Amino acid sequence: MQSRDKYRIALLSAYALALHGFESLVPMPIPWLRVGLANIITLTTLILFGFRAAMMVTLVRVTLASLFIGSFLGPGFILSMGGGVLGTIAMGMVLSLLPRIFGPVGLSLIGAFFHNLAQLVLAYALFIQRTEPVIIIAPILLLIGTVTGLVNGLVSDLLIKNLKKGEESLQNSVS
Amino acid sequence: MSFRETVKATTSGDRALLVFLVLISFAGIFAVKEALSHANEVSIEVDGRVKFRYPLDIDRSVRVEGDHGGLTVEIKDRQVRVTEASCPKKICERQGWITRGGIVCLPNRISVIVGGPEKNDGRRLDAVTG
């Protein structure tokens, strides 16, 4: 890994961490409901710098955020780690296997879907162990995830295009 | 790059996926609603008053005291039966496993009813005497 990549990953992780931390401060009608703003950074990293960088950013973000909030190795940490990792893997796989079909919005929807899927499975296996509440909550979670995934995808798209533009103008001014 | 341009830049795959997910989640919500209106709860009434409510999907057995010594209600695999009734004829015991409706033990004045919220399982009474 080049030092430039390390620098990028550190910077992007810091952005993701800031969004994650900010989000945990915003009160929500349901306590575990999250918009998943940090996924904007994960998705942007994935598209601009590849899967390994995106996974790195996710791991750094989830670990550090849980240390800051104080939920390291707790149930919230396990859920957000599982969701983050599976979401990133799903987005990475779709991007490399079917690169033309989905843009950032589609990838974000897929990421949100697998994020929720992982959290449901983990919550069921580790904490709830009753089928009924999981089945009741699954479609509601799916709907919320689709809406937040859509918003995050649009923001990522905007961010990616502006970053590319910024990078071009930066390179032009340097050279 | 404006927001409107970003929306226009979505691929047809993106849009199809969005529509698909929204449809699936609404279908899921309606399916769950439908499933929930079916029997999911066992309520045990003594003397016409609900004494216990148990979810149908957790196996257990409960002793219920009544006027005639009481009986035991067993919940297993989403089925319900009465065992060890202390009444003389043991009609309730002989009814065996049920998945819907109810078991009544008249001497004990106990009824075991499988049903969700009262309004939707057709339990409205025609008349009450006595």
Residue/partner pairs of B111-114 with CB below 8 Å, 24 or more apart: B111/B44, B111/B45, B112/B42, B112/B43, B112/B44, B112/B45, B112/B73, B112/B80, B112/B82, B113/B42, B113/B43, B113/B44, B113/B45, B114/B39, B114/B41, B114/B42, B114/B56, B114/B80
Q: Say how far apart CA A33 and CA B122 lie, in whole Å.
A: 37
For residue A61, is pLDDT > 90? yes
B128 located within any domain: no
User: Which of A1-15, A160-174, B80-94 bottoms out in mean pLDDT, i.e. has the lowest?
Assistant: A160-174
Residues 113-152 on A with a CB inside 8 Å of B are: 113, 130-132, 135-136, 138-140, 142-143, 146, 150
pLDDT (0 to 100) of residue A118: 94
**Does residue B101 sit in the same domain as residue B75?**
yes
- Closest residue, chain A, to B8 (C-alpha): A154
Domains of chain A and CATH, by start:
3-157 (1.10.1760.20)
pLDDT at B100: 78
Q: Is the pLDDT of residue A52 over 50?
A: yes
Residues in A closer than 8 angstroms to B17, CB to CB, are 102, 106, 109-110
- Specify the pLDDT at position B125: 62
Q: What is the pLDDT of residues B6-52, one digit of tens each?
A: 888 888 899 999 999 999 999 999 888 877 766 578 888 888 788 88
Q: Does A110 touch chain B (CB under 8 A)?
A: yes
Say how far apart CA B68 and CA B79 lie, in whole Å.
Answer: 24
Is residue B129 one of the residues assigned to a domain?
no
State whether B30 and B14 are in the same domain: yes
Average pLDDT of chain A?
89
By mean pLDDT, which of A51-60, A114-123, B84-93 is the weakest? B84-93
Q: Name the residue among A109, A132, A158 with its Cβ closest to that of B6.
A: A158
**Residue B27 belongs to domain spanning:** 3-36
Q: Is residue B70 part of a domain?
A: yes
If asked whether residues B29 and B81 sit together in one domain, one would say: no
Pairing mode, if any, of strands B110-114 and B41-46?
A: antiparallel
Does the residue B30 lie in any domain?
yes
Question: For the residues A88-103, what does the mean pLDDT come to?
Answer: 93
Q: Does residue A19 have a pLDDT over 60? A: yes
- Give the nearest partner residue to B14 out of A105, A131, A139, using CB atoms: A105
Specify the pLDDT at position B120: 45
Q: From the CA of A142, how many Å to the nearest CA of chain B?
A: 6
CB-based contact B17 A158, cutoff 8 Å: no
> pTM of the full predicted structure?
0.70
Q: pLDDT of B48-82, one tens digit each?
A: 788 888 888 888 888 888 877 888 889 888 889 88
Q: Which of A106, A132, A139 has its CB closest to that of B14?
A: A106
Chain B positions in Cβ-Cβ contact with residue A139 (cut-off 8 Å): 24-29, 31-32
Instruction: Test B22 with A143 for CB contact under 8 angstroms.
Output: yes
Winning range, highest mean pLDDT, from A32-41, A146-155, B29-38: A146-155
How many structural domains comprise chain B?
Answer: 2
Q: Is residue B125 part of a domain?
A: no
**Mean pLDDT for the stretch of residues A32-39:** 82
Q: What is the CATH number of the domain that holds B78?
A: 2.60.320.10
Residues B113 and B61 in one domain: yes
For residue range A70-92, what is the model confidence (pLDDT) as tens digits?
Answer: 888 888 899 999 999 999 999 99
User: Which pLDDT score, from 0 to 100, does residue A32 have?
Assistant: 67
Q: Does pLDDT of A174 surpass 70?
A: no
Would you call A157 and B55 a contact, using CB atoms and an 8 Å cutoff? no
User: Do B28 and B48 reside in the same domain of the chain?
Assistant: no
Number of CB atoms found within 10 A of residue A128's CB: 14
Evaluate whether residue B87 is within a structural domain.
yes
Pair B54, B106 in one domain: yes
Q: What is the nearest CA distance from A49 to chain B, expressed in angstroms?
A: 21
Quote the minimal CA–CA distance from A157 to chain B in Å.
Answer: 7
pLDDT 10s digits, B83-124:
888 888 888 888 888 887 888 888 888 888 887 555 444 555
In this complex, the residue of A132, A136, A165 whose CB is nearest that of residue B57 is A132
